[in-house]
Amino acid sequence: MGDDVFRHKPKYPNMTLKFAVPIPPSVNHMYYNTRFGGKHLTKQAEQYIATSRAIINQCIEDQHWIVQDDNPWYYVDMVFYMPDRRIRDSHNCLKLLLDVMQGIIFKNDYYALPRIQSVEYDKQNPRVEIIVHVQTKSEREKAIYVISKENLASA
């Protein structure tokens, strides 16, 4: 491990989980402040958690997803389908979205590598389509090479 962050070799490297959930409230809309200075989840955020976990749990059962006992890293690839053409920060939705997955897809969202692949428009069916899979050693090495070696060296 040396100078690397903590990671386990995945036991089930070929597993993939696919699902779609509603668009989560952004970090700007998921909390309210109490009179005493604390933060609490809004009713909208609490409802989102319940609804999304039910969807995800059903997909886990249907697709035979196995939560790994160890801690490999996971790619969480997402396509957002927004309900209108307003400018929104899709990345502001990641906090609640990853928190929802924690404990049912992976043990800790620390090990999630979120990748927003696209933001689209779908007035009839706004959602986030998600594919989760374990980061393999070759994917990790390729990412390090492409980002660090090719792009930064020529900058």
In Å, the largest CA–CA distance within the chain is: 53
For residue 3, tell me if it sits in a domain: no
Per the structure, the count of domains in the chain is 1
Per the listing, tokens 């929802």 go with 100
pLDDT single digits (tens) 109-132: 999 999 999 999 999 999 999 999
* Long-range contacts of residues 108-114, Cβ cutoff 8 Å, at least 24 apart: 108/71, 111/7, 111/71, 111/72, 111/73, 111/74, 112/73, 112/74, 112/76, 113/73, 113/74, 113/75, 113/76, 114/76, 114/78
Per the listing, tokens 């930064």 go with 152
For residue 11, tell me if it sits in a domain: no
Residue 67: HSE in the Cβ half-sphere, 13 Å Cα cutoff: 15
Q: In what order do the strands lie in the sheet with 112-121?
A: 16-21, 127-134, 74-82, 112-121
For residue 86, tell me if it sits in a domain: yes
Domain extent, residue 142, equals: 16-151
For residue 79, tell me if it sits in a domain: yes
Q: What is the pTM of this model?
A: 0.86
pLDDT of res. 28: 72
> What's the count of helices (H) and strands (E) in the chain, helices before strands?
3, 6
For residue 31, tell me if it sits in a domain: yes
For residue 9, tell me if it sits in a domain: no
For residue 8, tell me if it sits in a domain: no
The residue among 95, 94, 99, 104 whose CA lies nearest residue 128 is 94
For residue 95, tell me if it sits in a domain: yes
Beta carbons of 111 and 72 less than 8 angstroms apart: yes
pLDDT single digits (tens) 16-35: 999 999 999 887 767 677 77
Give me the tens of pLDDT residue by residue for the chain, a chain 155 residues long: 345 677 777 887 889 999 999 999 887 767 677 777 778 878 998 999 999 999 999 999 999 999 887 889 999 999 999 999 888 888 888 999 999 999 999 999 999 999 999 999 999 999 999 999 999 888 988 888 888 776 665 65
Alpha carbons 96 and 114: distance in angstroms, whole number: 12
CATH of residue 73's domain is: 3.30.1330.70
